[in-house]
Structure 1
């Protein structure tokens, strides 16, 4: 799951999960969203990208 289309899909799934969860989500929680194993380092990288993308919005991603 490393091509750009899949990375984009992973980010979309992460964003939806973060925006709809009533509680904070751990990396373990986020890994459970995917049928294939997503490395923690990949999740961290994508969360950092989302954090940067969200900087211009009225919400903030706190890691």
Structure 2
């Protein structure tokens, strides 16, 4: 199941511009796009995002 950027931003307490920045910087390079051009976050993307947030906080489990 794919999630929109708004849903992901809300779930991870991040701003939409932050998620776009991560993608632009190559931290989330594999985000698929819908035919309309909207980002579709999949589980692998969410796992990567979780790792990024963990590294930011320096508290990984």
Q: Same fold (TM over 0.5)?
A: no
Q: Is the strand fraction higher in 1 or 2?
A: 2
Q: Is the helix fraction higher in 1 or 2?
A: 1
Higher relative contact order (CA 8 A, sep 6+): 2
